[in-house]
Amino acid sequence: MHLLNAGTQIHRLGLFGHRFRVIALDGNPVPTPQPVAVVEIAPGERVDAIVEMNEPGLWVLGELGDAPRQAGMGIVVEYANHRQPRPQWLAPPISRWDYTLFGTTAAHPAPDDTIDMVFEKVPGGPHGINHWLVNGKEYPHEREFVLRQGGRYRLVFHNRSDDSHPLHMHRHLFELVELNGKPTAGIKKDTLIVPAFGRATVDLVADQPGLTLFHCHIQQHMDYGFKALFRYA
């Protein structure tokens, strides 16, 4: 299954009695494929998974939350020649999505520089809509984030809000170094969920010269300040 979230919210998907053996994230093979009961996928993320069809029946592949699933965020998975009056939805066991399951413990080369990025919410702005700050400011961060071509940068994302944020850097890949203090290696992505009140660290090689947009992939967050412009020196 090739799963892609082309929507505006983070979704958690399950298929009762089956497991997703994740083999790639954002089109990049993971070093340690692992089976999971639930896939969490943010706007812009892609997940490739192998699913062994070994539980005959008529099932629902869908969002764990009842409201979005009943509003259409689900499909019927039907086994051939299996008689069952209606599809069944049985919630999968509770589990926590963790990118580091698919990584290794290899060491990372030392970065040339480290950039800390702090994300904060300003509740109830104009028209009651929250605004978002990156290092205390809204877009564009003129000449604040400047990269040298060929440099290796360690970006440390500090999420000081009660929302999870899928972060995206245009035209670049980054490698996950740690998530909430748990080290990992080999996981390469272009969109990464940083959990609420969490921290993630990634390594990025500056190999795509030009103006580069960094932003949260939840559209409303991006529209209200959660973005920054990276430049090359």
Burial of 82 (0-12, 13-18, 19+ CB in 10 A): exposed
Predicted local distance difference test score (pLDDT) of residue 6: 95
Q: Give me the phi and psi of 226, to 5 degrees please.
A: -85, 70
Cβ–Cβ < 8 Å for 57, 84: yes
CA distance 41 to 21: 14
CA distance 136 to 218: 19
Predicted local distance difference test score (pLDDT) of residue 233: 95
Q: How are the residues of the chain apportioned to helix, strand and coil, as percentages rounded to the nearest 5?
A: 5, 45, 45
3-state SS class at 170: coil
pLDDT band at 128 (very low <50, low <70, confident <90, very high): confident
Cβ neighbours of 191 (radius 10 Å):
20
Cβ–Cβ < 8 Å for 102, 21: no
DSSP 172-214: --EEEEEETTEE-BS-EESEEEEPTT-EEEEEEE--S-S-EEE
Fold of the domain spanning 2-93: Immunoglobulin-like (2.60.40)
Mean pLDDT of all residues in 24-34: 98
Range with lowest mean pLDDT among 9-23, 82-96, 193-207: 82-96
CATH superfamily for domain 113-232: Cupredoxins -  blue copper proteins (2.60.40.420)
Domain boundaries along the sequence of the chain: 2-93, 113-232
∠ CA(128), CA(191), CA(3), 5° rounding? 100
Q: Is the fold of 2-93 the same as that of 113-232?
A: yes
pLDDT band at 73 (very low <50, low <70, confident <90, very high): very high
Helix (H) or strand (E) holding 50: strand 46-50
Residue 61: pLDDT above 80?
Answer: yes
Q: What is the pLDDT of residues 196-216, one digit of tens each?
A: 999 999 999 999 999 999 999
Helix (H) or strand (E) holding 219: helix 219-223
In order of 2, 41, 107, 181, 217, the CA distances from 48 in angstroms are 5, 11, 26, 26, 20
**Prediction pTM value:** 0.94
- End-to-end CA distance of the chain: give it in Å, rounded: 41
